[in-house]
Amino acid sequence: MPRNITARTGHTAAINCRVDHLGDKSVSWIRKRDLHILTAGVLTYTSDERFKVVRTADSKDWTLHVKYAQPRDSGIYECQVNTEPKISMAFRLNVIVTPPDAKAIIAGPTDLYVKVGSVITLTCLVKQPTTSAQDIGPIYWYRGPYILTPFVAHPNEAAIDLQRISMESTLTEKLQSRLRIANAQLLDTGNYTCLPTTAEAASVLVNVINDESPAAMQKSKGVRVASSCRSTRMALVMALVASSVVRWLLSCSCSNASSNVSSLHINYWHPQAIRVSRRVERPQLRVDVDLRETLSES
């Protein structure tokens, strides 16, 4: 387990303690500076509601969460088991203030297409010129809500094959982390997030595809857009033709007082039909115009 944890001000700090063969014993978290018992088992013994312990179903991992962490929360926290004699492990929490513009960047497009069987490589860069090297914490990778780190028990390990996943971090003038997934499978499709402990996260959508190339997928999208535009133009043409026919028929009916016309109806037979009615005088004149063939020819 990481023994030196760095968290950003205002974010949740998580300190994880793993205990094997716990049996009927209990785990407690102690704040070292004032020897305050924060939690014992799943119960919280502090009025500060920011502190909470979360355990896994197998009772191996006991994680102390500190919500809305502040610099004053920095210090030593001790995980204790009430054996005789007691056993314990100390962890150092560093809560730091980072620049508001500190952000992670994942190199490449925000939508990434890879073929089944290939290698997925994501590179995350974090530039923090005002942060000292010792204050920069690790970078965590997530797929959706699930963390991709081998030392954390995963609720759905069958879906995330950690044997195919590797991570490498380096620190020069930038903090860099590279996530590599070998032999990509369709189930690897998802939203991948690079989450530094000292900067805003960055995400990329990875699409694992079989045969269809990304270029073909983009072309298919373009065809759908063009088809939509053609449909819109057809509707406008129909509206203009309808308007012209209405004006012509009305002018004819008005110039001929003996035409005995009381109502004029023009029906367009098209998925986007236009019906125009105008009351003039007596019995009814009905005109049906079918433009389907005309439009298909155009």
**What mean pLDDT do residues 177-201 have?**
89
Residue 181: predicted pLDDT: 93
Question: Could you report the per-residue pLDDT of 196-212, keeping only the tens digit for each?
Answer: 877 888 999 999 998 66
Q: CA-CA distances (angstroms) from residue 43 to 31, 69, 83, 90?
A: 15, 20, 18, 20
pTM for the whole structure: 0.51
Binning pLDDT at 50, 70 and 90, where does residue 179 land? Answer: very high
**CB pairs under 8 A, 24+ apart, for 38-44?**
38/64, 38/77, 39/64
Question: Could you report the per-residue pLDDT of 107-134, keeping only the tens digit for each?
Answer: 999 999 999 999 999 999 987 655 554 4
Q: Which amino acid is at 291?
A: L
**What mean pLDDT do residues 18-36 have?**
93
- Across the chain, what does the average pLDDT equal? 75
Instruction: Tell me which CATH homologous superfamily contains domain 4-96.
Output: Immunoglobulins (2.60.40.10)
Binning pLDDT at 50, 70 and 90, where does residue 70 land? Answer: very high
> Would you state the structure tokens that stand for residue 11, as one six-digit string?
């974010």
Same fold: 4-96 with 103-209: yes
Residue 164: predicted pLDDT: 86
Bridge pairing between strands 36-40 and 27-31: antiparallel
- Residue 181 CB contacts under 8 Å (≥ 6 apart), including other chains: 119, 120, 121, 164, 165, 188
Of 235 and 296, more confident: 235
Least confident segment among 21-35, 148-162, 197-211: 148-162
Residue 154: predicted pLDDT: 43
Residue 59: predicted pLDDT: 86
Binning pLDDT at 50, 70 and 90, where does residue 68 land? Answer: very high
Residue 1: predicted pLDDT: 66
Of 84-88, 125-129, 214-218, highest mean pLDDT: 84-88
The domain 103-209 is classified under which CATH number: 3.30.70.1340, 2.60.40.10, 3.90.950.20, 2.30.110.10?
2.60.40.10
**What mean pLDDT do residues 245-251 have?**
65
**What mean pLDDT do residues 16-45 have?**
93
Domain boundaries, the chain: 4-96, 103-209
